[in-house]
Amino acid sequence: MKIEHSAFDLLPGLRDRIIDPAESKFRFLDYVEIDRRAAEAGYPPDWRRTDEEREAMRAEFFAGREGQSVWVFAYGSLMWDPGFYFDEVRVGHASGFQRKFCLNMTRGRGSEETPGLMAALDEGAGCQGLVFRIAAEHADHETAVIWRREMISYGYDPRFVPVETDIGSVEAMTFVVNKSGGRYLGDLDLDASARRIATATGINGSNRDYADNLAAQLQLLGLSDPEFEALHERVRAHP
């Protein structure tokens, strides 16, 4: 399986800026190893959803949409490392939401000693990102891949939202912050947020690299996010 060149017809500059799903660690998550590391770090046994719980949620979420293509709105790392196969990508704008670094992160690109911040969709004036279309014949398998990554714990709530593109509106699956999930930090002070991102590191690398990758992808696409740009400037200035 591969991503056809035609998937990038509207955004040819993305061809070299999207990690091939076959090379993405997020496509092949080893939950046994993840659980082992979580136990070593002192996490309780119920820190994540069980496979059965996660799949039951996915089945309920997509009930009535079986056999249909699925659009996915990406605003963070899915913009350069989706981990799933798609057959079209466009720039999209989700009204009523905003990209915010508002989730406490002590795994992945953070740790208990150096906690970082993860991006999520929160209420706001609007968010620009990418919207990917997964073909109907691959939707069940590829959404399972996405849910193994994004719905592993309790940071997000899945939701279908309207997304505007240059050639029409689509209804896309995305992941909105779960404010009752125990990780939501709300609106942190700009300097405090920048300090966390600049200093956090974990088994997947540094939080700073995540912010740099996001900034590069937004710049490549010509997308504006004044709040993130101000935050990223502070991160870059941090020693």
Catalytic residues: 150
In one-letter notation, the amino acid at residue 10 is L
Q: First CA to last CA across the chain, in angstroms? A: 43
Nearest residue to 146 (alpha-carbon basis) of 172, 109, 116: 172
Q: 23: which DSSP letter?
A: G
- Structure tokens that stand for 98 in this block: 């905003």
Beta strands 168-177 and 70-74 are parallel
- Phi, psi dihedrals of residue 11, rounded to the nearest 5°: -135, 70
Q: What is the rounded CA–CA span in Å between residue 133 and residue 99?
A: 21
Non-local (6+) Cβ contacts of 222 within 8 A are none
Going along 35-96, which residue ranges are E strands? 70-74, 88-94
Question: 131: which strand partners?
Answer: 73, 90
Alpha carbon dihedral 88, 90, 94, 100, in 10-degree steps, equals 100
- Structure tokens that stand for 145 in this block: 């891949």
